[in-house]
A and B are shown apart, each in its own frame.
Chain A
Amino acid sequence: MGKYALHRLLMALPVLLGTTFLIYLAVYALPGDPIQALAGPNRALSPSVEQALRERFHLDDPLLVQYGSYLKGLLSGDLGMSFAGRPVSEVIAASWPVTFQLGVTAWLFMTVLGVLLGTVAGLRRGRLADALVLGGTTVVMGVPFFVVAYVAQIVLGVNLGWLPVSGTDAGWPLAYVMPGLVLALYGLPQVARLTRTSVLDNLNADHVDTATAKGLRPRAVVVRHVLRNSLIPVVSLLGVSLGYLLSGTVLIEGIFNLPGLGYQIFTAIPQHDGPVVVGVGTLLVLVFLLVNLLVDLLYGILDPRIRLG
């Protein structure tokens, strides 16, 4: 397994490199003038300052030269400077805890609620609980997330006053409950549905019949035989859905005013702030790759039939 992990890590290198290049290319190709973006609509920078800024951020160099010097900096551990004049590493250091807490909260909600609802629905197939879970998750898929977010803010935050509306002042977990829940809705339907079908399949499987025939109590059968096996495909989905969660932080952090990585990247794009977009974007990809490697390793442990390598 160690060899497999090493192999996967090595494979991640070209993926990362490709990612940085693609993002760099995209930011470079953005139409519009970064200098104008920096100045805003009501300020016209003087030509001399414009020139100085272009030189400082190498905006006039060709793409490959820019990218080359970025890579060179990267090798020596320098992620570059943002347009606001702060080192990108500092930006990342300040923002990742927010995204981490948000991601973990959302992921917990998604996993716990998803598995719980899916299991209940699977065990009660065809009954009211099943219909409610299926119907509910379908509706969730259809309602635009920003509608959910605003309604949650106004109802839970403003009208009922149960949870903070925005910001990180209240700290974890309080400040992250509402954004975490909204973010979790992204992946919740898939997790619940997959758990449900998986539970159904396993309920009909031979080894469950055997266990029941042996006289094991139903609860024990469910826990020991059905659930354990049902969770295998779910684990894999949980890894992939991390991608959705990270993507969702871009929206959620904006709406809830959380200064995380998504917030930084979303502010940086209209500013053409290449170093920030590339640095933060690459970090998100790296996290995704690592988590999925872990998930695959875990998968191998859960399901001995799968051999890695």
Chain B
Amino acid sequence: MSVKKVLGAAALAVALTACSSGGSGGAGTPQGEKSFSVGVTTYFLSHLTPGRSVASNVDYALFTPLTTVDATSGKAVNAVAESIETDDNVTWTVKIKPGWTFHNGEQVTAQSFADSWNATAYAPNAFENNFMFAPFKGYAELNPADGKPSEKTLSGVEVVDPATLKITLTKPLSLLPYVLAQTAFAPMPKAAFADLPGFDRKPIGNGPYQLDGEGLAAGVTKVALRKFGGYQGQAGDADRIEVKSYQDEAASYRDLQAGALDVSLVTGNNLTDAAARFKDRLVRVPFPAVIYLGFPLWDKRFSDVKVRQAFAHAIDRETIVKSLLRGFGQPATGLAGASVPGGGAADCAACSYDPAKAKALLAEAGGWSGPLKLWTYQDPVNTVVLEAVGNQLRANLGIETVTTQTQPVDQLYPNLAAKKIDGPVLLYMGAGYPHLYALADQLFTKTSASNVTGYDSPEFAKLMADAAKAGQEEAMGLTQRAAKLAMDGLPLTPLFQPVGGLAYSTRVSGVKPEFLGAAVLSAVKVG
């Protein structure tokens, strides 16, 4: 099940939260201390260094970046940053609030950010989030195609004085404040660089909670967080949080039911059960993501847009969500759901269920001959949804032989990159940051690694480039036009926007999802 879990975890990487376990009865907990426990997927506790972590709720408890995305408005607001200013969306000046310190007492300065960013951008460190720094000037020097980099620091990151940071990008990006909200852009103290592996196990952050005890020793499935008294932002309610990791989210849900946890993410088929059992103690969490069926544009059977439209019209999204997912999902009418700033528009004209039109379109395009193979990666939900899609395509398009093939992520993605996939592929894509621009950029920009369909439209690229140069309001409109254009071209058809749940025990309250779906740990109230 771990195979599935790894995928599931990654798919929901940003969304998973916790289960917490009962009472203050935990070992060594002093009387009267407020504590709760939360379950997360194993994936969340693999690395805690900003440049290596997955921006989970645990990472946000330990670190506070320059900005944060407000859960209600979906806007990027300042956190450690006092102000972020730019005239051209290329050169940015960031002022840092005074008084912020790391858990070890060290001041958080412009240098703390520069050090962290340089470490991640420096290829030989092999930090997983390295790719996020590609828009920064000087990234190419730190990541040469061959050999050792000539530089160790980004030329686009300049410490003007302890409270001022100057950022230079290679091209305009008006959404930089959203980008900076990820924990990959959190600061690191001087102490980190004496022992990077040690820091990864027991990081010293600037967030509302600090890591207690040994941290991430090998084989550890549990870490404890303790409230950081010197935190300058909104302090957390609990004094202590126990974070337990689970290979299988279903196991964490069972622990919640058994009273061994206080907060648990609920996914897939447990949602129906949780809705009945936990009633108002189940929070619905719309993920800023889309599950879509991508067409291999390099396969000439799919080169005619009418074929793709026929496929899109032949899928009954309403029934898939209602019957198969028991209502936990949002049947797609467009690329992004309403929870993504800029999303919510019904920009996918071909997403309506219309079997007659589907058949007619396919006939116009010359019909279909031979077998059809559908692909996805190993994941319990993907698998059943893909099978339902296959059944509908067979029934509604009259395609005789429809088979499905499931591969592990590490096989499917290289195969996609090598264009070795011979049929539509069902995939999950989460917005890298909360903006329609992120989703559109990841899926449709020619050079994006997540553009698996091979979509390439100069017109789309032009609109996106304009959006990146424009101010926030204008950028939104341009991005929406770009998304509509891509949806008309239909390199992929959205199926639904996933919805998960956070269930919690009677011991806690105030459980709310952060923008990306996980429970905000500092917001959970005990008692």
Which residues does A use to contact B, with CB under 8 Å?
Answer: 31-34, 36-49, 51-53, 56, 82, 84-87, 90-91, 93-95, 98, 153-154, 157-158, 161, 164-169, 254-257, 259, 263-264, 266-267, 269-272
Known contacts A42-B428, A259-B219; is-contact A157 B409 (Cβ 8 Å): no
Q: What is the interface of chain B, defined by CB distance below 8 A to chain A? A: 1-3, 6-7, 9-11, 13, 21, 42-43, 46-47, 54, 123-131, 134, 142-145, 197, 200, 217-222, 244, 246-248, 251-252, 254-255, 257-260, 377, 407-411, 413-414, 427-430, 449-450
List of A residues within 8 angstroms of B11 by Cβ: 41-42
Question: A11 to B234, alpha carbons, bound, how many Å?
Answer: 65
Chain A residue nearest to B378 (CB atoms) is: A270
9 residue pairs, one from A and one from B, having the closest CB atoms: A94-B219, A40-B10, A44-B449, A48-B143, A32-B410, A37-B410, A48-B123, A32-B411, A52-B126
**Distance in angstroms between the alpha carbons of A157 and B377 in the assembled complex:** 32
What is the bound-complex CA distance between A127 and B479, given in angstroms?
79
Inter-chain contact B251/A37, CB cutoff 8 Å: no
Query: Of the candidates B127, B129, B217, B246, which one forms a contact with A94 in the assembled complex, judged by CB atoms under 8 Å apart?
Result: B217
Q: A37-B409, A40-B409, A41-B7 are in contact. List 14 more A-B contacts (CB 8 A).
A: A41-B377, A41-B413, A46-B123, A47-B143, A49-B127, A91-B219, A94-B220, A95-B218, A153-B254, A158-B257, A165-B254, A166-B260, A167-B244, A270-B2
Looking at the assembled complex, report how far the CB atom of B355 sits from the nearest CB atom of chain A, in whole angstroms.
Answer: 31
Closest A residue to B125 by CB, please name it. A52
Complex contact B10–A43 (CB within 8 A): yes
In the bound complex, do residue A257 and residue B246 qualify as a contact, i.e. CB atoms below 8 Å apart?
A: yes
Question: 26 A-B Cβ contacts within 8 A?
Answer: A32-B407, A32-B411, A37-B6, A37-B410, A40-B7, A41-B11, A41-B427, A42-B10, A42-B430, A42-B450, A46-B134, A93-B218, A94-B219, A153-B254, A157-B254, A158-B254, A161-B259, A165-B257, A165-B258, A255-B251, A257-B246, A259-B219, A267-B2, A267-B6, A270-B6, A272-B410
Say yes or no: A46 contacts B130, CB within 8 Å.
Answer: yes
Please report the C-alpha to C-alpha distance between residue A282 and residue B251 in the assembled complex, in whole angstroms: 29
Taking the nearest CB of chain A, how far is it from the CB of B279, in angstroms?
A: 17
Contacts of A98 in B (CB 8 A): 219
> Is there an interface contact between B124 and A41, defined as CB atoms closer than 8 Å?
no
CB-CB under 8 A from A169, the residues of chain B are: 21, 222, 260
- A36 and B219 form a contact (CB under 8 A): no
Find chain B residues with CB under 8 A from A91 CB: 218-219
Are A255 and B42 CB-contacts (below 8 A) given A42-B430, A167-B255?
no
List chain A residues, Cβ under 8 A from B42.
Answer: 267
Query: Which chain A positions have C-beta within 8 A of B126?
Result: 49, 52-53, 56
B409, A46: Cβ atoms closer than 8 Å = no
Q: Provide the residues of chain B in CB contact with A166, threshold 8 Å.
A: 246, 251, 254-255, 260
Task: Establish whether residues B255 and A165, one from each chain, have CB atoms under 8 Å apart when the complex forms.
Answer: yes
- Residues of A within 8 Å of B252, CB to CB, are 257
Report A-chain residues with C-beta under 8 Å of the C-beta of B7: 40-41
Q: Is the CB of B260 within 8 A of A164?
A: yes
Closest-CB distance, A283 to chain B (whole angstroms): 14
Are A264 and B409 closer than 8 Å at their CB atoms?
no
Chain B nearest CB, measured from A115 CB (Å): 32
Whether A41 contacts B47 by the Cβ 8 Å rule is: no
**Partner pick for B413 among A36, A154, A263, CB 8 A cutoff:** A36
In the bound assembly, the distance between CA atoms of A165 and B39 in angstroms comes to: 14
Complex contact A85–B200 (CB within 8 A): yes
Chain B: minimal CB distance from A272 (Å):
7
CB-CB under 8 A from B128, the residues of chain A are 38-39, 43, 45, 49
Is the Cβ of B6 less than 8 Å from the Cβ of A164?
no
A263: B residues at CB distance < 8 A: 2, 247
In the complex, A166→B258 CA distance in Å?
Answer: 10
Q: Which residues of A contact B257 (CB under 8 A)?
A: 158, 165
Q: Is B130 a contact of A271 with CB atoms below 8 Å?
A: no
Bound-state Cα–Cα, A98 to B219, Å: 10
Shortest beta-carbon distance, B246 to chain A, in Å?
5
Which residues of chain B have C-beta atoms less than 8 A from A271's C-beta? 6
In Å, the complex CA distance between A254 and B1 comes to: 7
- Whether the pair A33, B414 counts as a contact (CB closer than 8 A) is yes
Chain B neighbourhood of A82, CB < 8 A? 218
What is the distance, in angstroms, from B103's C-beta to the closest C-beta of chain A? 22
Q: Given A266-B2, A270-B3, are A40 and B218 neighbors across the interface (CB < 8 Å)? A: no
In the complex the two chains form, what is the Cα distance from A42 to B128 in whole Å?
12
Q: Which residues from chain B contact A51 at a C-beta distance below 8 Å?
A: 123
Instruction: Enumerate chain A residues within 8 angstroms of B260, measured Cβ to Cβ.
Output: 164-167, 169
List chain A residues, Cβ under 8 A from B13.
40, 42-43
CB distance from A253 to the nearest CB of B (A): 9
Residues of B within 8 A of A46 (CB): 123, 130-131, 134, 143
CB-based nearest A residue for B259: A161
A48 near B144: Cβ-Cβ < 8 Å: yes
Which residue from chain B places its CB closest to the CB of A253 in the assembled complex? B247
Q: Which residues of B contact A48 (CB under 8 A)?
A: 123, 130, 142-145
Cβ-neighbour of B130 out of A31, A36, A45, A254 (below 8 A) = A45
Provide the residues of chain A in CB contact with B124, threshold 8 Å.
52
A159: shortest Cβ distance to chain B, in Å? 9
Q: How far is the CA of A271 from the CA of B244 in the complex (A)?
A: 21
Interface centre among A255, A269, A272 (most CB of B within 10 A): A255
Which residues in A have their C-beta under 8 angstroms from that of B46? 84
Pairwise interchain contact A257-B221, C-beta atoms closer than 8 A: yes
Whole-angstrom distance from the CB of A95 to the nearest CB of chain B?
5
Determine whether the beta carbon of A49 is less than 8 Å from that of B1.
no
| Highest count of chain B CB atoms <10 Å: which of A95, A167, A254 | A167
Across the interface, do B414 and A36 meet the contact criterion of CB distance under 8 Å? yes
The reply to whether B131 and A44 contact each other, CB–CB distance below 8 Å, is: yes
Which residues of chain B are within 8 angstroms of A266 by Cβ–Cβ distance? Answer: 2, 247
Contact A95 B408 (CB under 8 A): no
Does the CB pair A255–B248 fall under 8 Å? yes
Expressed in whole angstroms, the minimum distance between the Cβ of B70 and any Cβ of chain A is 23
**Residues from chain A with Cβ under 8 Å of B221 in the complex:** 167-168, 257, 259
Contacts of A47 in B (CB 8 A): 143, 145
Q: Which residue of A lies closest to B379 (CB)?
A: A41
CA distance A267 to B410 in the complex (A): 14
A86: chain B residues at CB < 8 Å are 218
Which residue from chain B places its CB closest to the CB of A49 in the assembled complex? B130
A11: shortest Cβ distance to chain B, in Å?
A: 32
How long is the Cα–Cα vector from A256 to B246 in the complex, in angstroms? Answer: 9
A55 to chain B, nearest CB (A): 9
Q: Which residue of A lies closest to B3 (CB)?
A: A270
B419 to chain A, nearest CB (A): 15
Query: Within the assembled complex, what's the spacing in Å between the Cα atoms of A306 and B431?
Result: 70
B247 touching A257 by the CB < 8 A rule?
Answer: yes
Q: How many Å lie between the Cα of A176 and that of B190 in the bound state?
A: 43
Name the residue of chain B whose CB is nearest to the CB of A156. Answer: B258
Closest Cβ of chain B: how far from A86's Cβ, in Å? 4
Which residues on the B side are within 8 Å of A38 (C-beta)?
A: 128
Give the nearest-CB partner of A54 in chain B: B126
Q: Which residue of B lies closest to A170 (CB)?
A: B260
Find the residue from A36, A82, A91, A161 having the highest chain B CB count within 10 A: A36
Contact yes or no, A90 B200, CB < 8 A:
no
Residues of A within 8 A of B21 (CB): 169
CB-nearest residue of chain A to B201: A86
Bound Cα distance from A41 to B43, whole angstroms: 12
Query: In the assembly, what is the distance between CA of A93 and CA of B218, in Å?
Result: 8
Q: A45–B410 Cα gap in the complex (Å)?
A: 13
